[in-house]
Amino acid sequence: MKIAILSPLAWRTPPEKYGPWEQIASSVAEGMVRAGQDVTLFASGNSITSGKLASVIPKPYGDDPAADVKVNESLHISNLMERASEFDIIHNHYDFLPLTYSKLINTPVVTTIHGFSSPLIIPVYKKYNGNSHYVSISNADRNETLRYIATVYNGIDTTKFDLNEHPEDYLLFFGRIHPHKGTSESIEIARRAGLRLVIAGLIQDENYWKEKVEPFVDNEQVLYIGNCGPEKRNEVLGKAMALLHPISFDEPFGLSVAEAMCCGTPVIAFNRGAMPELIIDGQTGFLVSNIDEAVDAAKRLGELNRLDCRTHVARYFSREKMTKDYLQVYQQILSI
The residue among 12, 23, 328 whose CA lies nearest residue 152 is 328
- The confidence score (pLDDT) of residue 85 equals 98
* C-alpha–C-alpha distance, residues 90 and 156, integer Å: 21
pTM of the model: 0.94
pLDDT tens digits, one per residue of 299-308: 999 999 999 9
- The confidence score (pLDDT) of residue 217 equals 97
CATH number corresponding to 158-316: 3.40.50.2000
pLDDT tens digits, one per residue of 48-67: 999 999 999 999 999 999 99
- The confidence score (pLDDT) of residue 145 equals 96
Calculate the alpha carbon distances from 147 to 34, 118, 130, 251 in Å: 30, 18, 8, 20
Tell me where in the chain the CATH 3.40.50.2000 domain(s) lie.
Answer: 2-155+318-334, 158-316
The count of residues in the chain is 336
Task: Tell me if the domain spanning 2-155+318-334 has CATH number 3.40.50.720.
Answer: no
Q: Which parts of the chain sit beneath pLDDT 50?
A: none
pLDDT tens digits, one per residue of 206-249: 999 999 999 999 999 999 999 988 779 999 999 999 999 999 99
The residue among 96, 15, 94, 112 whose CA lies nearest residue 59 is 15
- The confidence score (pLDDT) of residue 72 equals 96
- The confidence score (pLDDT) of residue 141 equals 96
* C-alpha–C-alpha distance, residues 311 and 206, integer Å: 37
281 phi/psi in degrees, rounded to 5: -60, 130
Q: What is the DSSP string of 279-322?
A: --BTTTEEEESSHHHHHHHHTTGGGS-HHHHHHHHHHHSBHHHH
Task: Please enumerate in sequence order all residues whose Cβ is within 8 A of that of 7, keeping only pairs 6 or more positions apart, or say none.
Answer: 13, 21, 22, 25, 26, 29, 41, 42, 43, 44, 47, 93, 94
- The confidence score (pLDDT) of residue 226 equals 94
